[in-house]
């Protein structure tokens, strides 16, 4: 086991240096295959934010409706328990 440790300890150090250099050369090729960045106007940004906020509010309304139904069930259970 001790013979394997020094051999494996030296190998990752050289591999790490090679791995660090490899992504640098592959990064420019991956950026050319990506979609080009399209600058948005301030109006488009605000409209996008409005859309996201509307979606968020709709989701919160669904959650609120679910919680209100659960509360109604618990209140009915409370009435039954108090009646006993």
Q: What is the pLDDT of residues 29-61, one digit of tens each?
A: 555 789 899 999 999 999 999 999 999 999 999
The ranges assigned to domains in the chain are: 1-33, 40-84
**pTM of the model as a whole:** 0.51
d(CA 16, CA 22): 10
Who has greater pLDDT, 5 or 77?
77
The residue assigned the tokens 């051999």 is: 7
Answer yes or no: are the C-beta atoms of 48 and 40 closer than 8 Å.
yes
């Amino acid at each position: 086991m001790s013979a394997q440790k020094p051999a494996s300890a030296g190998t990752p150090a050289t591999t790490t240096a090679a791995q660090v250099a490899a992504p640098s050369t592959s990064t420019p090729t991956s950026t050319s295959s990506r979609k080009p960045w399209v600058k948005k106007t301030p109006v488009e940004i605000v409209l996008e934010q409005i859309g996201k906020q509307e979606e968020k509010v709709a989701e919160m309304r669904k959650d609120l409706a679910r919680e209100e139904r659960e509360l109604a069930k618990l209140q009915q259970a409370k009435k039954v328990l108090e009646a006993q």
